[in-house]
Amino acid sequence: MKYSKKEILRRIKGKLIVSCQALPLEPLYVEEKSVMYLMARAAKEAGSPCIRTSSVRDVAAIKEETNLPVIGIIKTRYEGYDSYITPTMKEIDELAAADTDIIALDCTLRNRGDGTTINEFIKSIKDKYHDMILMADISTYEEGINAWKCGVDFVGTTLSGYTDYSPQKEEPDFELVQKLAAAIDIPLIAEGKIHTPEQAVQMLKCGAYAVVVGGAITRPLEIASRFIKAIEEKSDE
């Protein structure tokens, strides 16, 4: 089942989207078979109305397990590309073939190895897939405004703090969410460095349509490391 934009908007408004991802070399990545559907099962039972995930196999496994709408990405590196989240039409085609409900892609203004601009890439996607629902992963206000003007369906603050020119903070970028939510007329999705329920709630108060949380929920290595670091720093005092 593939969900309509109207139904997705109804489901996710004011809610928590859980990101369930495990990349090669991470502890929860299993070569033989995806296990992320188990994380997605837990997220659904907790009440999450939508899942974000990486790779075609996890999109398929999670849709089959949960019957929830899925935001899909493919992370891959190409020479000459600064972006690695769904960077080319190859990844778009693969996610489209898997009936991904929303496709997210890097919409920063960084270098693209084929010489195209992100504006040209978005246009080529929209020309090929007229009904595709697109989410722009951005890192700054200017990138969010640009993606909005290019006609994407959602803007997500996913990459704030993950480009060398965006604010380098340990905490979420509340200011970016508040500023973009007030400036654009499409849903703003808050994502990135949200570690606590209180921060998620604050993002909604800042104007976010919905909130995505991944590492704080579904990445045990990251969660355990955060606890261990805090304890070690306390011990050094």
Average pLDDT over residues 122-148: 98
pLDDT in tens, 25-55: 888 988 888 899 999 999 999 999 999 999 9
Q: What is the mean pLDDT of the chain?
A: 96
Rounded Cα–Cα distance for residues 123 and 203 (Å): 30
More confident residue, 32 or 219: 219
pLDDT digits (tens, 9 = 90+) for 60-72: 999 999 999 999 9
Which domains, ranges and CATH numbers included, belong to the chain? 5-235 (3.20.20.70)
Q: In whole angstroms, how far apart are CA 146 and each of 109, 132, 139, 210?
A: 9, 19, 12, 20
Torsion angle (degrees, nearest 10) of CA 169, 172, 173, 179? -170
Q: What is the pLDDT of residue 235?
A: 73
The pLDDT, as a whole number, for residue 172 is 97
Residue 237 has pLDDT above 70, yes or no: no
Q: Identify the band that residue 9 occupies on the pLDDT scale cut at 50, 70 and 90.
A: very high
pLDDT digit string, tens, across residues 68-112: 999 999 999 999 999 999 999 999 999 999 999 999 999 999 999
From the list 131, 139, 172, the residue with the least C-alpha distance to 158 is: 139
Provide the pLDDT for residue 34: 84
The half-sphere exposure of 199 on its side-chain side, counting CA atoms within 13 A, is 17
Whole-angstrom distance, CA of residue 66 vs CA of residue 200: 23
- Predicted confidence at residue 38, as pLDDT, reads 96
